[in-house]
Amino acid sequence: MNILRLIIGRALGAMLTLLLVSIVIFAAVELLPGDVASRILGRNATEVNLAVLRLKLNLDAPGWERYLLWLGGIVQGDFGVALTSGRRISDILADKVFNTLVLAGVAFLLYLPFAIVPALIQAIRRDRPIDHGMSIVTLLLLSTPDFLLASLLMIAFVVFIPVLPAVSTVTDATTVEGWARALVLPAVTLAVVMAVYAVRMLRDNLIEVLDSDYIRMAELKGMSARRVLLRHALPNALIPSLNITALNLSYLIGGVVIVERVFSYPGFGNLLIDAVQVLDVPLIEVTVMIAAAVYILANLMADIGAILLNPRLRSG
């Protein structure tokens, strides 16, 4: 009962945040001082063009009315029509979101071993040269912005050791092997950026757990070192890292924007950048909204996960 109430509370909070986000987005793009239509058209603004655009965006209606129409549409799954291409936004999004989900999914799968394996090695060999060495490497990678890391990986595996394609375009005709080759560099970039953020904390957590009494107990009763590490230490060290993983997921949603751009991967992030470049207002609104929704959902899952994993709440 207690758990259920907590979870429902979190879910309602998440929905409230999402509603606020929608207001922020809509206000930012449409209600700011200055005429949206002339801002979009810039130098191409003629009387006729302006009038057509104002009609298209329904700009003569009051702001709150447009907001409610827009929100109502989104709730019903109607995202409206893109300004530049005139296509339905849901049609444009379908492919791109799928591609991005594939990229993000692969990146996330790579992230787990990228974070856990170095942390395990560091925790076992704590304060030895290999621990210090890996700490330095982690710090260096942590200080390398994603667009730079992507460019450097590209230099390494496209220029110096030419094994991978520089451009990760995928289409319907792309084979599985083509997909794999296209995904390696962008996914590895994202996974490394996420992993270095988690490694330090995971290492410290592991060391703390390894020093605890129950680990000593497990060792004393003759359990193999490997079993102690993987069955007892690791799961307990991972629980506090759930929070980090949620933060990493939120990074992932923004990170795909950069990485897709670097590798020309046809996904959601590239779509957002294109939309911002041509000021395609309806498309910007929807893409930003989706990014925020994914973040909020990821956080909600992490919260619920933490509630479910907390034995004190479970029994109560």
Partner 1 sequence: MSSLDGPATRPNPIARLASLWWRSPQSLKIGSAILVFWVVVAVLGTLWIPYGYAQIRTGLPLEGMSWGHPFGTDQLGRDVFSRVLYGAHIVILLSFAGTVFGLVVGATIGLISAYIGGWLDEVVQRLAEAFIAIPFLVLALLAVATAGPELSGEPGLVIFVVALVYTPRIARMARAAALDIITRDFVTIAKLRGESAWSVMRRELLPNTTGTLLVEFSLRAGYAPALIGALGFLGFGIKAPMPEWGLLISENRALVLIQPITVIGPGLALASLIVGLNMFTEGLARILGRTVRLGER
Give the one residue of 112, 134, 164, 279 binding partner 1; rule: CB under 8 A. 279
> In sequence order, which ranges of the chain are alpha helices (DSSP H)?
2-26, 36-41, 47-56, 63-75, 89-124, 129-142, 146-154, 176-210, 213-220, 225-227, 234-238, 242-262, 268-278, 281-309, 311-315
Query: Does residue 104 bind partner 1 (CB under 8 A)?
Result: no
Closer to partner 1 by Cβ: residue 57 or 275: 275
Cα separations (Å) of 8 from 11, 15, 96? 5, 11, 32
Beta carbon of residue 126, minimum distance to partner 1 (angstroms, whole number): 18
Residues 27-66 that bind partner 1 (CB under 8 A): 28-29, 32, 34, 39, 42
Determine if residue 298 is left, alpha or beta; phi over 0 gives left, psi from -120 to 50 gives alpha, anything else beta: alpha
Number of other residues whose CB lies within 10 A of the CB of residue 234: 18
Tell me the one-letter amino acid at 204.
D
Site string for partner 1, 130-169 (x = CB under 8 A): ---------xx-xxxxxxx--xx-xx--xxx-----x---
**Cα 46 to Cα 220: distance, rounded to the nearest angstrom:** 83
Distance CA 75, CA 92 (A): 18
Residue 190 found at the interface with partner 1 (CB under 8 A): no
Which residue number, 187 or 196, has a Cβ lying nearer to partner 1? 196
Residue 116 contacts partner 1 per CB under 8 A: no
Nearest distance from C-beta of residue 247 to partner 1, angstroms: 7
- Token couple for 158: 């496209």
Q: Which is nearer to partner 1, 109 or 152 (CB)?
A: 152
3-state secondary structure 216-227: HHHHHCCCCHHH
| Whole-number Å distance between alpha carbons of 290 and 207 | 38
Which span sits near partner 1 by CB under 8 A: 49-57, 178-186, 290-298, 303-311? 290-298
Residue 88's φ and ψ, nearest 5 degrees, are: -70, 135
Q: Which is nearer to partner 1, 30 or 219 (CB)?
A: 30
Among residues 129, 277, 311, 312, the one that binds partner 1 under rule CB under 8 A: 277
Residue 24 as a binder of partner 1 (CB under 8 A): the answer is: yes
Residues in the interface with partner 1 (CB under 8 A) total 61
List of residues contacting partner 1 (CB under 8 A):
16-18, 20-21, 23-25, 28-29, 32, 34, 39, 42, 139-140, 142-148, 151-152, 154-155, 158-160, 166, 196-197, 200-201, 244, 247, 250-251, 253-255, 257-258, 261-262, 272-273, 275-277, 279, 281, 284, 287-288, 291-292, 295-296, 299
